[in-house]
Structure 1
């Protein structure tokens, strides 16, 4: 619990909030905040939630829920996670660790020759950025076609239904980064 107190203190100091002000905001004594930050006292879940709200963060961040991702931010290529493959032969991989706090999702889509993204990409709220790493692709969206080659990029509102096709005779690789609005 020592680390939780350090996280609270660091967050409070980064926001330039004094102990007295935080205590007043959440209805406790400054002494209690000081004890919590020094791991001499442990807050109830209700108090911890009030602290998190006052510090504009989450209880999960204060208790270190996502620290494992901060300690190991690297995902090697061999560690990429298979998300799904479709019937046409395209495969979707996740290129990051799972984290509920993420606002971006990096993926790799591997297209066998003459395959498509059908049933891999769902129209969602947010935005998508595609970068062609290898091969030649066609993107169909809103009754228009866009032809893209290695090194080309495409940025789109994810809510628009679109399908990507490998129009080449060899494997194509596409980096896909999608963003989701924060609540």
Structure 2
């Protein structure tokens, strides 16, 4: 799914959910978080700028979100984006450490992106991921803005980073950092799989902009 050969033995590899189970779990997570916060679908639509129809479809597993959509939802519902990831075996979970074979995954099949959480599940001010972008993968069709910063390092392949309507093609070994208030998005316009380390800082007072 992520374009890389699996070098782990079957017993060490993380459990992978089928695509329909991923969609169903994401939808249920969004719905439960919304209800826990006491928000209506209209409330969440107002906070995120997403349509009520989109949120309803997500909750019913009839639409697959982009990274941008999940980021907007995470800000509105006051949870880290990693809250939407597939869960790890509870026996492997540690408070401060993430083992390679216990990474939580977020597979956005429609976007062609796989995110692996490199930070523990507890809420914090910094989120660290390994991104795998299949050919044509993208963060979504719209720019995103919020407070905090983003930084990253390209491990392999190419990533096109759009900052305020300007495209920057980054190759293996390139790195970046920018204020998240700058309108941004990214994609992989090549026919090769790209991999990157992605860092996000996000304060609890963040709110979507633009």
TM range (shorter): 0.5 to 0.7
Partner of residue 125 from structure 2, selected from 103, 123, 128: 103
Question: How many angstroms apart in 1 are the aligned matches of 2:169 and 2:106?
Answer: 26
Question: How many angstroms apart in 2 are the aligned matches of 1:173 and 1:120?
Answer: 21
Task: Report how many residues are paired.
Answer: 112
Label 1:103 to 1:95 Cα distance change in 2 as closer, same or farther (>3 A): same
Label 1:97 to 1:171 Cα distance change in 2 as closer, same or farther (>3 A): same
1:93 maps to which residue?
A: 116
1:80 aligns with 2:103: yes
How many angstroms does 1:114 deviate by? 2.0
2:184 maps to which residue?
A: 162
How many angstroms does 1:179 deviate by? 1.1
Question: C-alpha deviations, 1:135-174, integer Å up to 9, x for none?
Answer: 1111112121111000111111112221111132221111
Question: C-alpha deviations, 1:25-62, integer Å up to 9, x for none?
Answer: xxxxxxxxxxxxxxxxxxxxxxxxxxxxxxxxxxxxxx
Label 1:127 to 1:154 Cα distance change in 2 as closer, same or farther (>3 A): same
SS of aligned partner of 1:97: coil
Specify every segment of 5 or more residues in structure 1 that has no aligned partner in the other structure, as ranges. 1-70
Normalised to the residue count of structure 2, the TM-score between the two structures is 0.47
Given that 2:144 and 2:185 are in contact with CA atoms closer than 8 Å, whether structure 1 keeps it comes out as: no
1:123 maps to which residue?
A: 145
Normalised to the residue count of structure 1, the TM-score between the two structures is 0.54
How many angstroms does 1:97 deviate by? 1.0
